[in-house]
Structure 1
Amino acid sequence: MRAVHRVGCGPGRDRGSVTVEFALALPVVAVVLTVGIAGVLAVDGQGRLQTAAAVAARATARGDEPAARQALDQADAESVRVEHAAGLVCVHAGRPAGTGPFSGIVLQGDSCATDEADAAGR
């Protein structure tokens, strides 16, 4: 009896399929990791900006402008607006999220504190 060998069947047919699957999956994994890391960096930047706005509002309310500027500089705030109204000092800070997939997003941090100079004058 003679052994029959079919062409295109058996273990030899799958040869190279793992390489192809890896080549297709690797870019997807890279994109998912890039988006994930960029998202974490954007959330971190938002938190830092919010904290800096709070520190700057409290520092401005007590008349410590250098401390307010230092807090905003550490958070890389590019736009800063300070408002004095109704016994409050409000600081609005913003900056772009950075580079990558979230580069079009503008991060904002807003905070208010009681104006101590205004409160002392009453």
Structure 2
Amino acid sequence: MRSRSADRERGGVTAEFAVALPAIALVLAACLASVQLVAQQVRLTDAAADAARALGRGESAGEAGAIADRVAGGAELSAANDGQFVCATLTASGAGVLAVIELRAESCAVTGGR
């Protein structure tokens, strides 16, 4: 035989779950978006290093930009040369909801060959 208090609490877990589910989904979405943003930053850093090495070998900015575009996809390249070093800076915006966040990576390489 059930008690009356058990009948009054019936469905309480379902109601609490329904209230908590949107918050859990929001936290999960934020975690996934931040992982995607970090992965994009890593790709951007690798692309900046590749572009700096290409510029250091004497390739044109267009060729270095094409190399960076293959790795990072859609990043904007700017290069600076001070004679001994050449630096490549890539900027890109985040993806999806995080498009308002600007990502930036810079890498430098020694100019010239051996």
Work out whether the TM-score is over 0.5. Answer: yes
How many Å apart are 1:17 and its aligned residue? 1.0
Give CA deviations for 1:51-99 in whole Å, capped at 9, x if unaligned: 1000110011102346523331120243210111131110000000111
Matched, 1:81 2:73: no
Which stretch has the larger CA shift, 28-37 or 59-68? 59-68
SS in 2 for 1:103: helix
Aligned 1:83-122 pairs, distance under 5 A: 83-100=80-97, 102-116=98-112
Distance 2:21 2:67 in 1: 41
Distance 2:74 2:55 in 1: 16
SS in 2 for 1:64: coil
Q: Pick the structure with more helix per residue.
A: 2
- Find the counterpart in structure 2 of residue 18 from structure 1: 13
Q: Which runs of 4+ in 1 moved over 4 A?
A: none
Distance 1:103 1:42 in 2: 10
| TM-score, normalization by structure 1 | 0.80
Distance 1:70 1:80 in 2: 10
Distance 2:43 2:25 in 1: 27
Which residue of 6, 31, 47 corresponds with 1:36? 31
Q: Percent identity?
A: 35
SS in 2 for 1:86: coil
| TM-score, normalization by structure 2 | 0.86
Contact 2:65 2:77 in 1 (8 A): no
User: What amino acid does structure 2 have at the position aligned with 1:108?
Assistant: R
Contact 1:49 1:77 in 2 (8 A): no
Number of equivalenced pairs: 111
SS in 1 for 2:73: coil
Q: CA RMSD in A?
A: 2.1
Distance 1:41 1:91 in 2: 23
Matched, 1:45 2:34: no
